[in-house]
């Protein structure tokens, strides 16, 4: 039986539904080339800012068996670097997505305007949810602000535009955010960024494990899979049919990816596990997903996407 994992994001074709999350190992040219050579279905950059940033002081990333905590503070090469790389990325024959996380609305508008003239960029993922820049709240938790930002960024023609949201925890917040997003020509929504401002503790040292913000940072990995799945499910049910949902959070095996798709995801990003395992994770997870689909007699992700059942 031939199984294919083809999918589309905002009309862009991907030959598999598994690719890297913006964050781990997607900052430098070499890292992005490695993703290009791997089984990742797309190449997604680290969230970029107007200027190059060194980010927060180290240690700023820590992992254990349950997941990760990070307070990177958006270290990146500056958006122009990712624009200049776009043509080079064409050789990998897969979509090239640039993540944008301006430190102000004005910065976002400047970057989006400039990037819109770069043909070799297939889509922009606008990050409205970084929890790690001191003094900069997560836009996605401020509904009025989010509406204002979307009003402005959607005012001019640009690439396929998606947004990366923080996790929500209350049903009213899912509804309020979905009502806002449904007013705009957004093509995809990535659910979720890390759970912001968690705390992981080293019990031997009686100390926090990362330096910035007295140890508070974004939580990823197994810790967050149920929250990520709930966000994928809610936004799949609440957003317009033409908005694709990208799952992100706790996917480290083929069955995790299956769960995200069952909740409604069109594709799934790998973050913490990619950081831990490197690019070989994409091929392994793809194989595991195909094996699972074979056991279930599914030949395409459309056979089960969004079909999560309730208990009658």
Query: Which residues inside 41-80 make contact with ligand SIN, applying CB under 6 A?
Result: 47, 70-74
**CA-to-CA distance for 271 and 44, rounded, in angstroms?**
11
> Could you give the string, one character per residue 166-195, with x where binding to ligand SIN holds by CB under 6 A and - elsewhere?
---------------------------xx-
**CA-to-CA distance for 169 and 177, rounded, in angstroms?**
12
Query: Among 73, 75, 70, which residue's Cα sits nearest to residue 217?
Result: 70
Nearer to ligand SIN, 73 or 254 (CB): 73
Query: Which residues inside 10-39 make contact with ligand SIN, applying CB under 6 A?
Result: 23
Nearest approach, Cβ of 223 to ligand SIN (angstroms)? 14
For residue 130, indicate whether it is catalytic: yes
**How does DSSP classify residue 149?**
H
Instruction: Name the token pair of 124.
Output: 């922009």
Instruction: Name the token pair of 309.
Output: 């059942």
Contacting ligand SIN (CB under 6 A), which of 68, 132, 139, 266? 132
Nearest approach, Cβ of 173 to ligand SIN (angstroms)? 19
Nearer to ligand SIN, 73 or 264 (CB): 73
Nearer to ligand SIN, 194 or 234 (CB): 194
Beta bridge partners of 99: 125
Query: Which residues inside 206-245 make contact with ligand SIN, applying CB under 6 A?
Result: 218
DSSP string, 174-211: HHHHHHHHTTS---EEEE---EEEEE-EETTTTEESS-
Query: Among 246, 225, 245, which residue's Cα sits nearest to residue 237?
Result: 245
Nearest approach, Cβ of 134 to ligand SIN (angstroms)? 11
Contacting ligand SIN (CB under 6 A), which of 130, 163, 232, 239? 130
Nearest approach, Cβ of 11 to ligand SIN (angstroms)? 25
**CA-to-CA distance for 172 and 305, rounded, in angstroms?**
25
Nearer to ligand SIN, 23 or 67 (CB): 23
Nearest approach, Cβ of 193 to ligand SIN (angstroms)? 5
CA 12, 15, 16, 22 dihedral sign is negative
Helix residue spans in the chain (DSSP H):
29-37, 79-89, 105-115, 143-153, 171-181, 225-238, 254-263, 272-277, 280-295
Catalytic residue among 17, 26, 130, 263: 130
Query: Which residues inside 262-301 make contact with ligand SIN, applying CB under 6 A?
Result: none
Q: What distances in angstroms separate CA 84 from CA 29, 80, 195, one per listed residue?
A: 10, 6, 32
Active-site annotation, residues: 130
Binding site for ligand SIN (CB under 6 A): 23, 47, 70-74, 127, 129-132, 193-194, 218
């Amino acid at each position: 039986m031939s199984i294919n994992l083809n999918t589309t994001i905002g009309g862009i074709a991907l030959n598999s539904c598994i690719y890297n999350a913006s964050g781990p190992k997607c900052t430098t040219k070499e890292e992005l080339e490695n993703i290009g050579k791997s089984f990742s279905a797309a190449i997604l950059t680290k969230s970029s800012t107007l200027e190059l940033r060194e980010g927060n002081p180290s240690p700023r990333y820590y992992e254990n068996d349950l997941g990760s905590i990070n307070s990177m503070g958006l270290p990146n090469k500056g958006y122009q670097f990712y624009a200049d790389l776009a043509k080079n990325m064409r050789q990998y024959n897969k979509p090239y997505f640039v993540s944008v996380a301006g430190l102000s609305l004005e910065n976002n508008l400047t970057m989006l305007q400039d990037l819109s003239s770069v043909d070799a960029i297939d889509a922009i993922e606008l990050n409205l949810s970084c929890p790690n820049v001191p003094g900069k709240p997560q836009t996605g938790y401020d509904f009025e602000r989010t509406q204002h930002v979307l009003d402005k960024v959607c005012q001019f023609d640009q690439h396929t535009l998606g947004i990366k949201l923080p996790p929500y925890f209350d049903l009213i917040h899912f509804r309020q955010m979905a009502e806002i997003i449904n007013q705009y020509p957004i093509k995809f929504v990535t659910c979720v960024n890390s759970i912001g401002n968690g705390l992981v503790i080293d019990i031997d040292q009686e100390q926090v494990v990362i330096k910035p913000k007295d140890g508070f940072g974004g939580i990823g990995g197994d810790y967050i899979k149920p929250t990520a799945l709930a966000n994928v499910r809610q936004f799949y049910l609440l957003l317009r049919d033409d908005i694709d949902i990208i799952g992100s959070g706790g996917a480290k095996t083929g069955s995790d990816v299956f769960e995200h798709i069952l909740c409604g995801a069109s594709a799934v990003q790998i973050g913490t596990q990619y950081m831990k395992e490197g690019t070989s994770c994409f091929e392994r997870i793809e194989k595991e997903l195909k094996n699972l689909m074979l056991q279930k007699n599914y030949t395409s992700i459309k056979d089960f996407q969004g079909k999560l059942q309730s208990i009658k």
